[in-house]
Amino acid sequence: MPIEMQHFSSGGVDIAFIDEGAAEATNGTVLLIHGFASNVAANWVDPGWVRTLGRAGYRVIALDNRGHGQSAKLYDEAAYGPRLMAEDARGLLDHVGVEHAHVMGYSMGARVTAFLSLMHPERMRSAIFGGLGANMVRGLAGARPIANALLAPSMAEVTNATARTFRAFAEATHSDLKALAACILSSREPFSAEMAGQIKLPALVAVGDQDVIGGSATDLAAMIPGAEAFVIEGRDHMKAVGDLRFKEAVVAFLAKHA
């Protein structure tokens, strides 16, 4: 059953979000940005992140990225990209009246967080990059096969193994496949090692040691001045999301930078 969400307009695009624990929060706010083909429920509510962070004393806000979840579905490739999504995140902070927040993104959301950390560092207390390590600066290869898989009439017609994984996940999250295809084919502005070196915020990079999609947490952390790396042992891209050790590492990191 869909969770009840609020909505606001980001440059005319309807964005759904949750805002939990404002009255009880003692340690500030955490903004969560989910991954490709996911949504607030699948990435943050069901794996226990909202509950964990709330119990740790944080107000938790999280948005369904454009084209995802309960937010507006857009079919023009030009309507996507990390800068536009970063502006959606900044707009959400404005909408709920939060001046500064810790920001955590997972996978695609980590990439959006990286752009946000350069575009609006004054709005952030720290940055947490989950599920995306060294491949942050290498970009995503094979967007076209994934888009083709999303647009295929059925899963039976998808033969590419990686593309099948994306299609299966998109179906599991009841996503709009056409909107996701436009999202993944949108202009994927490179995020270079030089750009990573310009991040001046406290940063944590957390990736599973079996995550071939995200790449090395240690290698990305080495590019960001002062960043910490947390390797989630025995976890791949999907299974790392709800890992208890990952949650504990994030809560400990946030406590240091509260």
Q: Show the domains of the chain with their CATH numbers.
A: 6-135+189-256 (3.40.50.1820)
Cβ(34)–Cβ(106) below 8 Å: yes
Give the pLDDT confidence of 92-130 residue by residue, as tens digits.
Answer: 999 999 999 999 999 999 999 999 999 999 999 999 999
- pTM here is 0.96
Pairing state between β 29-33 and 13-20: unpaired
Name the pairing type of β-strands 59-63 and 101-106: unpaired
**What DSSP line would sit under the chain, residue for residue?**
-PPP-EEEEETTEEEEEEEE-TTT-SS-EEEEE--TT--HIIIIITTTHHHHHHHTT-EEEEEPPTTSTTSPP---GGG-SHHHHHHHHHHHHHHHT-S-EEEEEETHHHHHHHHHHHH-GGGEEEEEEES-SGGGTT--S-HHHHHHHHHSSSGGG---HHHHHHHHHHHHTT--HHHHHHHHHS------HHHHTT--S-EEEEEETT-TTT--HHHHHHHSTT-EEEEETT--TTTTTT-HHHHHHHHHHHHHT-
pLDDT digits (tens, 9 = 90+) for 51-61: 999 999 999 99
**What are 12-38's pLDDT values in tens digits?**
999 999 999 999 999 999 999 999 999
